[in-house]
Amino acid sequence: MTTGPYHGRLRRLGVRRLSAAFTAGVIAVAAVLLAPQPAAADTPWLTVSQDRYASFSVPAAYVQEHLGTVSQVVVEGNFGPSSAWAEFGLTRRGDVWSGVLGALKPGLYHYQVTADDTKSLKDPTNSTSVASNPLQSTFFVPGDSARWLADAPPGTGGAIGTLTYRTKNGPRTALVWTPPGYATKGPKVYPALFLQSGEGAATTDWLDLGRSKQILDNLSAAGAMKPMVVVFNDVNGSDGKELKDLRKAVADRYRVLRDPAHQAIAGVSDGATQALRAALANPGQFSHVGWFSGHSTPDVDRRNAEAVNRSVTLLRLYTGNVTDPAYNTTYRLMKALGRADVRFEFDGVNPDGGANWNTWQENLVDFVPRLFRHVSDHGPSPGHRQLKREFVPPPAGTTPTPFVSEDGFVTFETTTEFKDAQHVTVWANIAPGGSWLRVPLTRDGDRWRATVGPLEPWFYYYRFIVDRVAVKDTSNPTKVTSEPMWSTLFIPGARSRLLSDVPAGQGGTVESMTYRSTVAGQDRTALVWTPPGYDPDRTRPYPVLYLQHGSGQSYTDWVEMGRAKQILDHQFLDGDLVPMVVVMGNGNSSDFNSELLDNIVPTARERYNISSESSQQALAGLSMGGGQALGVLRAHPGEFAYVAALSAGFGSGTGVDVEAINSGTKMLRLYVGDQTDFVYPSFMASLTTLNNLGIRYEFDGVTPGPHGWDVWQKNLIDLAPRLFKR
């Protein structure tokens, strides 16, 4: 799958200069993955390849011992769109629950293993931890877009200390980062930044999930920030007296400047609200203020505007996209600040960030270099968008779902029949490459609801999982005949153009063709696409492609899930396709060779003006259908001049007539998904078999994605224009 440019790391403030500093070696990013270290003698549950695929392998015996007998196991983590929390389902294979997810974007991930929705455990082979949530572990995927999150070279970073201080409510603790070269004695003093966590989060989250030490270390080493002392505290330390107590304790313990001009404050979620409230209610305390996805809008008193503008050098607001609850809050805050004539800056809407630490990491990278120094750029980060209005999906129960808004955000909603459910997710092909993730829905009255995105323009399919039972979205009229629980949705855009409907009356025609199956002993149906302008009386018969489905599917799937009609219509209208007839038969047969050659092919020749010449016949299929196509090639070499297998292996070389295959086949083209496609290992092994046999073939290379329709749609898009042109 081709993805667009990744927005969201440091973009302004001399990004070219900072990148050059990295290139020059100021910050050394390891070329190998910083994989978690397993406990002694234990096989790691998680391994991450250098091309960013995460492989999970959880021993079934361990799950049984600690959680009892379970029916499903998932890995929960920040894997979803906008780094949202999502569930990645594992498959029981022998003695392990396993699965491969990727390719992941560079960044920090945190996860836990959960069985049957409610039984969770920590990965005991991963030594990392999240202090605020003992069940979670982390892993870091390096890459240029996450370079500020990498560990700085040993000896080049700052230090983290613990500060205990007194308040009227008893002793509290804060964490303090001091910059490289900081000394407890000497003439040099530093400005101070106070960073607050949100309600329900912990001070330690700034380090465990925010990677704040790494960010500060790297910015410092790159010369991208003013040397300062950074204090991490929880939201309870920001209310009036307690914040004053903390500032005094910091000033008494560390060499910091006490005047407001050298004091800054920022926070996430409720911490952002408290930070801004401190600056607005009592102007003159802080000169720099950062709002990272504030939870609620503090009062903005116009009478304080002059004092705020005089004392606050920088008030900068940050928010994620519409999946961030702060999106609407930030819009209202901007309006309130504008009405009160309070000066502020807005970083713009992060198009692919939600309310999570991945977004707040980016906020910190942008905010810190602006403190206590002259900055010429005060606009939004490149790629960030304006915030023109609040995001308000239709009220619950007022519209069929899903509701698709601009920029690819999709709101899913159940009916009221699941009001007593305990755990509801939407399971869809929204993971990298088109793999499947389950995104939790939340209660909305008697319904369950969630907004997911942004999703790239493409074709998606989904179902609800209600207390571990698959359920169709009955509000969505789309259907998948072979998979009754699935529903579909389409997001238009340049990337998905070939999957969209062509204007009415311009495309080809799909008809049902009934034939007698001597193998099954019953009448069966195939679907047949004929091109625009198809002429049953044309002197020259049309070439024909027999296109087969996979196991568990049927003749309807290439139309309902593969978007074959839309692909063929567009390619014909674009002039890329030789006019042909495409027959999609039922491959669920005990003897496919006979089913195809004795039943489907003769009926198609009788009903349609198609050629019987081998040079004008093609056979292709996916998965099981790909294996069937290759089986026909082996048993009847030369019958079809064009053969293609999608996500299917060739098998052994026993009894293969290599000369007949090579002389009778104009094109043998092979396709496979990436490491998330479970046939990938056997497919790659079959290439060795073909090479050893001397069979000529074409390999399209790995198609990013799993054993699923995202891959096979792309394969058909590549294959169809190649047919009948040699």
pLDDT tens-place string over residues 175-220: 999 999 999 888 999 999 999 998 778 899 999 999 999 999 999 9
pLDDT of residue 236: 63
- Which has more pLDDT, 2 or 582? 582
DSSP 377-407: --SPPTT-B---S---PPPTTSS-S-EEEGG
Cα separation of 105 and 352, whole Å?
Answer: 12
Look at residue 8 and tell me whether its pLDDT is greater than 90.
no
| CB-based contact 510:581 (threshold 8 Å) | no
pTM above 0.85, yes or no: yes
Domains of the chain: 34-142 (2.60.40.10), 153-370 (3.40.50.1820), 403-432+446-491 (2.60.40), 498-722 (3.40.50.1820)
Cα separation of 570 and 507, whole Å?
Answer: 8
Cα separation of 648 and 672, whole Å?
Answer: 7
Cα separation of 403 and 626, whole Å?
Answer: 36
Look at residue 33 and tell me whether its pLDDT is greater than 70.
no
Residue 186 backbone class (left: φ over 0; alpha: ψ -120 to 50; beta: rest): left
Taking the alpha carbons of 652, 657, 662, 664 in that order, is the dihedral positive or negative? negative
Confidence of residue 239 (pLDDT cuts 50, 70, 90): low
Taking the alpha carbons of 47, 49, 52, 55 in that order, is the dihedral positive or negative? negative
Percent of the chain with pLDDT over 90: 86
Look at residue 44 and tell me whether its pLDDT is greater than 60.
yes
pLDDT tens-place string over residues 585-601: 999 999 999 999 999 99
- CA trace torsion 8, 11, 15, 20 (10° rounding): 20
Instruction: At 491, list the tokens.
Output: 């997001």
Q: What is the DSSP letter of 299?
A: P
Instruction: At 250, list the tokens.
Output: 């910091």
pLDDT tens-place string over residues 79-117: 999 999 999 999 999 999 999 999 999 999 999 999 999
Cα separation of 509 and 32, whole Å?
Answer: 52
pLDDT tens-place string over residues 310-360: 999 999 999 999 999 999 999 999 999 999 999 999 999 999 999 999 999
Look at residue 2 and tell me whether its pLDDT is greater than 60.
no
| CB-based contact 713:560 (threshold 8 Å) | no
Close Cβ partners of 601 (under 8 Å, ≥ 6 residues apart): 546
Close Cβ partners of 350 (under 8 Å, ≥ 6 residues apart): 7, 8, 318, 319, 320, 321, 359, 362, 381, 384
Cα separation of 543 and 537, whole Å?
Answer: 14
Instruction: At 555, list the tokens.
Output: 């003749």
SS3 assignment, position 508: coil
pLDDT of residue 396: 87
Cα separation of 220 and 422, whole Å?
Answer: 47
Q: What is the mean pLDDT of the chain?
A: 92
Mean pLDDT of 229-233: 97
